[in-house]
Amino acid sequence: MTMWGTFLKPMHPEGYRFVGIFAAVTLVLFLVWAPLGWLGLGLTIWCYYFFRDPPRAVPQGEGLVVSPADGVVSLIGPAVPPAELGMAPVALTRVSVFMSVFNCHVNRAPVAGRVAAVAYRPGKFFNASLDKASDQNERNALCLELADGRQLAVVQIAGLVARRILCWSREGDSLRTGQRFGLIRFGSRLDVYLPPGVAPMVAVGQTMVAGETVIAELGRPGAARAAVID
């Protein structure tokens, strides 16, 4: 990777409009008062980085479940998947990844499978790191049907400042592991509901990289992995 490649990342097309708006406002601010212009330039650069969409090295292996988002694991525990997906109303292990406004916000499929259902539900905009955000915030949920017939749910949840959830996948689509399927503006959370008997291999506080960090292996049941954040 070149030095420029370290700092300059591809930007998702969804960000072109916003970066253009920030840049136009910045130009006006420079004409009004230079210090305001430099502030606007900083915000324009932040907007560009928010919509960055770098390539990821997706691990290849049967049964690997990867993180759907960049961020930090904020919650791990039993929870019932969103009712609107029509999945069995039983508690599954839920792994929540919280994305701050500084994380890359392009969402990736945690596992290969067919999109059995997509369901959007309006809601509130509590801080996405809170447990109640899963139930009360605006969300968009996908049920992925795996090759062996098991199901896994991944849920996009709006956060405190997020005001739009984008999902490009539709019912019947086939997704490969790590494939881009959506994006949330600006700060949010992704929940993954693992199939019964599958334990997470990550810990609360652990940093996730979308499409790269393995959060579970479908063929390895057992207790969740213990870890210490050092």
Token pair 């992925």 is found at 144
% of the chain surpassing 70 pLDDT: 89
Question: What is the C-alpha separation between 111 and 25, in angstroms, rounded?
Answer: 41
Decide: 116 and 152 in contact? Cβ < 8 Å.
no
Decide: 71 and 192 in contact? Cβ < 8 Å.
no
Question: What is the C-alpha separation between 171 and 118, in angstroms, rounded?
Answer: 6
% of the chain surpassing 90 pLDDT: 66
pTM score = 0.88
In the predicted model, what is the mean pLDDT of residues 160-174?
A: 85
Confidence of residue 5 (pLDDT cuts 50, 70, 90): low
For residue 72, is pLDDT > 90? yes
Residues in a beta bridge with 44: none
- Helix H or strand E encompassing 19: helix 16-32
Give the active site residues.
188
- Helix H or strand E encompassing 221: strand 214-221
Question: What is the C-alpha separation between 117 and 173, in angstroms, rounded?
Answer: 10
